[in-house]
Structure 1
């Protein structure tokens, strides 16, 4: 009887453990900060995308209309690195993005990094996600500080334009009438990308690796490929 009771308790404990939800991602964390680019950092061992702001892409250039082109994306990264690299940051996780990064509000010495960098004209308020730094950006623009003193395209517009150009180039490479890309991921997943999707332009087809073009989504799915999520 004792053996049966012990076995029952053990089985019940295992079932409860399986039913228990996994622990939630840590909401608050801190650590030494390592700058990846203007709005992306490692804080300790956590990759962070700073909440509510947007930085020029690393390869983005600014200028035009008579103004010389210059590497504003790389400049912003250097400026943010000079201010923050190696310092201790405290962060509050608000979300997790599709790349697995913690979307977080972070501070150094008690000062909100997003607000500081937007106020100095190094980052833009990302109004699609938050209006928290809207007035800070407007004040920086009036003062003409940082990026606001140059011909600069907002990062989101630059990314959209880059995707359109990549998509157009990809369509020129496609066999006539067969524009769907059947890609094989590093994990062996067979995924097809249609024109207009986020990763259509950058995706390259290597037929020697079993990748191929399709003339329709139905053809791709019949061959065992699934649609890309974005």
Structure 2
């Protein structure tokens, strides 16, 4: 038994064994990187979905690092009036997307098979701009932009609002056709 173990380990002994071990590890690293590589970049004219997502051809894109109010979400202005902050975020995103083709660098996909990406139009980072204008909160990126929007009381920061995640949790989407019919009052 001892003799067999020493034969197995003999492959990796000496200078040639060290090189072989490095080569084996390099091959494993290359295979792992290829299996875990991000999706390729995508670009083109986009169609808005809401304040942090859109379609680029048949691909659905969700911007990374921010969370915009949901389309049906309302916020409270400084004077106490409610305003449709979700629609305002969507409309502003539509304006950015109308300015030219979107250039997106996907990093991953989510559970809904959307590409999770950082995107720009005309060299302007869409996520940074939405957060800087107070139409989205930072969610892992864009902390500086959020702090500036808060300090200047821009957009949602001018009054009161529920964080988009909290709003989604409190307003679950209807499931199935009967859920949608009941949501429509039918």
TM-score for both structures, normalised by structure 1: 0.56
Corresponding residue for residue 155 of structure 2: 146
Q: Deviation per CA, 1:17-67: give whole Å up to 9, x if none.
A: xxxx99x77421111111111001112332100011111111111128971
User: Structure 2: how far apart are the matches of 1:71 and 1:121?
Assistant: 13
> Which residue number corresponds to residue 102 of structure 2?
89
Asked if residue 80 in structure 1 is aligned to residue 80 in structure 2, the reply is no
Please give the alpha-carbon distance, in whole angstroms, between the structure 2 residues aligned to 1:120 and 1:76. Answer: 10
2:136 equivalent in structure 1 = 123
Higher helix proportion: 2
TM-score (norm: length of structure 2): 0.68
Q: Where does the alignment leave 5 or more consecutive residues of structure 1 unmatched?
A: 1-20, 164-198, 207-230
**Pair 161,65 (structure 1): closer, same or farther in 2 beyond 3 Å:** farther
Counterpart pick for 1:133 among 131, 138, 142: 142
How many Å apart are 1:82 and its aligned residue?
Answer: 2.0
Q: Aligned-pair RMSD on alpha carbons?
A: 2.5
Contact 2:38–2:107, Cα closer than 8 Å, also in 1:
no
1:204 CA displacement = 6.4
More strand by share: 1
Aligned residues: 144
Per the alignment, residue 196 of structure 1 pairs with none
CA distance in 2, matches of 1:104, 1:73: 20
Distance 1:69 1:106 in 2: 30
**Paired residue for 2:118, among 85, 92, 105?**
105
Helix, strand or coil at the partner of 1:67: coil
Larger relative contact order (Cα-Cα within 8 Å, sequence gap ≥ 6): 2
Q: Do structure 1's residue 70 and structure 2's residue 83 form an aligned pair?
A: yes
